[in-house]
Amino acid sequence: MKLIDKVNKALEDDRCFWSFEYFPPKTQQGVMNLYDRIERMCNLGPLFIDVTWRWGGKSSDLTLELCSNSQTVYGVEANMHMTCTNTNFELIKNALDKAKDQGVQNILALRGDLPDNSVEFDPSVGEFKYATDLVRYIRQTYGDYFCISVAGYPEGCLGPEDIDRDIEYLKAKQDEGANMVVTQLFYDVDNFLAWVDKCRKAGITMPILPGIMPIQNYGGFKRMTDLCRIKVPQEIWDRLEPIKDDDQAIKDYGIEVAAQMIRQMQAGGIRGFHFYTINLERSTRLVLERVGLVPAVSEVRPLPWNPSLSEKRAGENVRPIFWRNHARSYIKRTELWDEFPNGRWGDARSPAYGELVHGVQVRLSTEQAVRRWGTPASTDDVKELFVRFCRGQLDTLPWSDTPLQPESALIQARLAEINSRGFLTINSQPSCNGAASTDKMHGWGPPNGFVYKKAYLEFFVSSSAMKDLLARLDTEPTVTYHAVNKAGELLTNCAEDSANAVTWGVFPGKEILQPTIVERVSFLAWKDEAFDFWNAWARVYDRASPAAALLRAFSDEWYLVNVVENNFQKDSASIFELFDGLGQPLPEKAQ
């Protein structure tokens, strides 16, 4: 979808909105971490994200990959930067064709830095002189397909003496087909508001989004403002000087400054705010919280998972629960499907899930993994790590790159308890009987609806403990389960191969939606990944080490089990009562 349509709708509703900018990391580990960050920050409700661009095979390809995956996997519109200095029509067309092929419909058109820090344009090294030329080319070549954003400079591109000339250039970009403006960062709000007024008087009607960069540290702030020739009010320098060696105090003050800027701009009629995150999360989140810019549940969670913006997956509204923490993997393994479930789950055997070609990875470096998880020497050591994760004392495990879902706070203590007994959980949800769709804990979907959930647990367990558990589950008429080992030997009490809806919602004027299901074929496809995470964890250590051997044994000898309590009217605690007295609890000291 074109951003200008979303921006105009928000402005029509007099509704504040915000967006986040990221840059492509230089390492694969950094890329994986950024994906995790983008996924988390989508919960803050950005209208869109954008990703910076640098010409050169891997860098420009990564920008497009980040934009495409953000839309397809995380369901957030992406605005792709594109620079034109030192390029030609063929290079630009190839890049734009790739963007179009991958469903990226929004471009931030920039001139980019001149080579070798020069200030004069050399026509012999490219066919584009200014961003205006790029805007004209995009519009002439692709018509109305792309929404085109352009840069604005409230303090002049090269200095205050350029302000009037820059406004003329901005008007020319609008005349050539640009749709909206994202400004360079600034800290003088009075000057920004005066500049917006000048733009309006010059006939610029495009929406203007101010660029906000929360201060992170003194040295970086000084370098950035010097590089961009940004005027910083003396009051800010005076406040920074006595705390310049205290990074935390600087960050806290940066949050205060950004929040005050937004309040002042809101009073001046500004409704959209663009955050230069420099790939950091905390300051942006705290600024939004400070000024009360918290998205509605229906905006952040139209479904319990982020719907894809891929045209091919339009209308998809049912997924298996197993990939809850691994959306990118699910998208990859289903990308060759011709149709995606809408309203009901079809037969996952036709077409089949794609193979797990390259295996899974731990999204931490070896040093980070050892620092977080130590070097487990026994089953009890592993159990203790799972317990700590359930208690919020550990922020990641190989199966989950983020802490427990907020809803898990309702069952946190019981999760920790069964993990201490050797039922190592990797997915769970509490039951819910008709919570409002706006509920902060359980809610999803449009307002004035009601949502329902069956209690669900997914865990690894030793074969001996599993036998005792299944003997108990077989006596429970409302409980269904699947248990499988690495070799694919399946045990289940489900007589049929049909899908079991574990989440559904009832909304005014709509059919019942059931977006999350448990289903046998999907579970057997997921188990390959689930078991492979043990091997990925083992690879953190020397292959011949006791720790690696221990973790491989979990993969080779344990079972993966999912359990559903189908009576959603029961309290969430009831599913945990099935485990009472089973397993071997950790010694008290370990807990």
Over residues 213-234, the mean pLDDT reads 92
Among the listed residues 12, 21, 407, 519, the single catalytic one is 21
Ramachandran category for residue 536: left, alpha or beta (phi over 0 → left; psi -120 to 50 → alpha): alpha
Over residues 466-490, the mean pLDDT reads 95
Residue 118: per-residue pLDDT: 52
Query: What percentage of residues in the chain have a pLDDT greater than 90?
Result: 78
Lowest mean pLDDT among 338-347, 407-416, 439-448, 567-576: 338-347
- Please, are residues 453 and 430 in contact by the beta-carbon 8 Å criterion? yes
Which pLDDT band, with edges at 50, 70 and 90, does 348 fall under? low
pLDDT higher than 90, residue 296 = no
Order of strands, sheet of 559-565, starting from the edge strand that comes earlier in the sequence: 424-429, 455-461, 559-565, 479-485, 490-492
Residue 437: per-residue pLDDT: 96
Q: What is the dihedral of CA 232, 237, 238, 244, to 10 degrees?
A: 160
Count other Cβ atoms within 10 Å, centred on residue 83.
21
Which pLDDT band, with edges at 50, 70 and 90, does 588 fall under? confident
Query: What percentage of residues in the chain have a pLDDT greater than 70?
Result: 95
Which pLDDT band, with edges at 50, 70 and 90, does 57 fall under? low
CA dist 42 and 138 (Å) reads 29
Residues 6+ apart with CB under 8 A from 133: 84, 127
Residue 129: per-residue pLDDT: 85
Residue 260: per-residue pLDDT: 98
Residue 301: per-residue pLDDT: 87
| Prediction pTM value | 0.88
- Please, are residues 426 and 400 in contact by the beta-carbon 8 Å criterion? yes
CA dist 235 and 188 (Å) reads 11
CA dist 547 and 539 (Å) reads 10
User: To which H or E segment does residue 414 belong?
Assistant: helix 412-420
Lowest mean pLDDT among 230-234, 426-430, 586-590: 586-590
- 245-281: pLDDT as tens digits: 999 999 999 999 999 999 999 999 999 999 999 999 9
Order of strands, sheet of 500-506, starting from the edge strand that comes earlier in the sequence: 319-320, 513-518, 500-506, 450-453, 432-436
Written as six digits, the tokens of 258 are 């950004």
Which pLDDT band, with edges at 50, 70 and 90, does 590 fall under? low
Of 121, 126, 127, 63, residue with least CA distance to 95: 63
Please report, for the chain, how many H helices and E strands are present, in that order. Answer: 20, 18
Residues 6+ apart with CB under 8 A from 369: 362, 537, 540
256 included as an active-site residue = no
Rg (CA), the chain: 26
Question: Please, what is the average pLDDT of the chain?
Answer: 92
Written as six digits, the tokens of 97 are 């064709």
